Chain A
Amino acid sequence: MIEQRYAIGHADYANAGKVSSQIKSFLKQIGLDPTLLRRIAVACYEAEINMIIHSYGGEITLAMDENSLDLNFKDNGPGIPDVEKAMTPGWSTASEKAREFGFGAGMGLPNIKRMADTFEIQSTQSGTHVHIAFKVNE
């Protein structure tokens, strides 16, 4: 079992994607199946960017064994008021500033769900927790 933790700062656009890059390079070292690797990379990147744009910061944790890979994205709020709406493709609350940077096309959460084998989301005002998992069978 391998466990890793990464901190994500609030509105830290300068470092956007760095954690996903580290996770991607770790998974390449493990030598996962390329198609699976790509699904994980895309989902992880979307989720990391979501945290940077929308949250007050938080933490990404990774846990992996020979059967599955679990990624948890936990932030410190402010929470998603309407999760159902947020899951609708094209719907976005990204700020003007975020859109200027090319973020906020409204495809983040639906895309993550599409990539992952398991997708769970819980959100309250004190924070959002997205859990995604992938089957790691050969």
Chain B
Amino acid sequence: MSVVTYTLAKCQKCMKCLRVCPVEAITMKDERVRINKSRCINCGKCIDSCVHQGLQAKGSTLAELEYYDVKIALVPSALLAAASTVDQIEELFGTIKSLGFDEVVDLSPYDGAVANELYGMISDQKEPYLISSFCPVVNRLIEVKYPMLLEYMVPPYRSAELASRRIREETVKLNQKVGIFLLCECIAKLPTSKYPYGDTSSEIDHALSIVDLFPRISKEMGNHRESVDPSPDGLKLASSAHFTTKGHESHILRADGLEKVQLALDLAEFGQLKGRHYLHLSNCINGCVGGNLLWGNPFEATQHVSEHLKTVRGTNAQVVFEASEESLDEVNERKSIQERILEYARVNAQLEQLPGYDCGACGFASCRMMAEEIAAGRATLENCRIRNHEVKS
């Protein structure tokens, strides 16, 4: 489910967003951008491409705090990498608490538990390979563009869900309204409180964008402190440069950034990643520590993790991993193969009439998409500006 919102008044109709979208989820129709909410993978490329702030991703706001008696913040491991020292991590946690929370929960022990579970799976794995599932963008990308790799994906264990389930169990007796707020280091985690990946329900009440909290955090920083004992394994899960397990270093392939991820997945489909047992893939540069809603830069974050790992000794949470009953969405393409072949032929007949520039001027991201629309009767050849120009001249 897409969290990208569009503001018509700010849109200059430059169509940059339409061209950068890796899954062709954006079209321009009736002079406005339309986002296919079910196709969007929340990678944030369109938001980055828009210089007019016409596209944004928003989470809940702190105003929601007032509806709860007990307010709990979940802090992702990635945010620990925004602090340069462990001392600063404690200041950061204190500051977050001062924004109106009763408790601030460090997710790194839960991420550490997930990392440990992965280490075990990697050690047992023989070819072909397992594909990580911690990055919601990569998960959706595989669903949309690489369906043949779905069967290799690790079950979607999410530390935030594990932690919030435990909090719910522990607080149910209080007979109070307990609000669980997840701080999100990336756009793609904003919708997971309402639409968790591979799971039907979530115990998380609200997802907050870290970047929105930053002005208040930076103002209060230095005045508060809260003791934290981060797990080194949790930090490693969030930083792709650090994720490894002894004896299996060369079996792990790490790819970060959408281009690199797509290259790895393309090769994986051809069975060309020989000797790799596990693919650690993230949309954000350098892993979650480079989250696109964090204020620092990914290179500094990686360096901070290296520093933290010298001193942090926190233990991992004790968690029982159960396979989720809900498997990944079934591909609900139920036309017969014969119909699909005919449809392809119809689209191809239209495609041959189009110039193949994929310029996007018609409002569709590619000539193929335009051909599909024409074949479906929703557009006509006259909508192609290049073709009109050639016919006239």
Contacts and interface: CB of A to CB of B under 8 A. Distances in A.
Contact of A34 (B151, B274, B337, B344): B151
Given A45-B272, A66-B341, A138-B336, A35 B331 contact: no
Contact of A31 (B145, B270, B340): B340
Interface in A1-57: 1-2, 17, 20-21, 24, 26, 28-32, 34-35, 37-38, 41-42, 45
B127 to A, nearest CB: 12
Interface residues of B, number: 21
Nearest to B337: A66
B269 interface: yes
A129 to B, nearest CB: 22
Contacts, number: 54
A1 B348 CA distance: 13
Contacts of A130: none
Given A2-B344, A66-B336, A66-B341, A28 B270 contact: no
Contacts of A38: 148, 269, 271
Nearest to A107: B274
Contact of B148 (A1, A29, A41, A65): A41
Interface string A44-85: 010000000000000000001110000000000000000000
Contacts of B337: 30, 32, 66, 136, 138
Interface in A82-107: 105
Interface of B: 145, 147-151, 266, 269-272, 274, 331, 333, 336-338, 340-341, 344-345
Given A31-B340, A37-B147, A45-B270, 14 more contacts: A1-B341, A17-B270, A20-B270, A26-B344, A29-B344, A34-B148, A34-B149, A34-B331, A37-B148, A41-B269, A42-B271, A105-B274, A111-B271, A138-B337
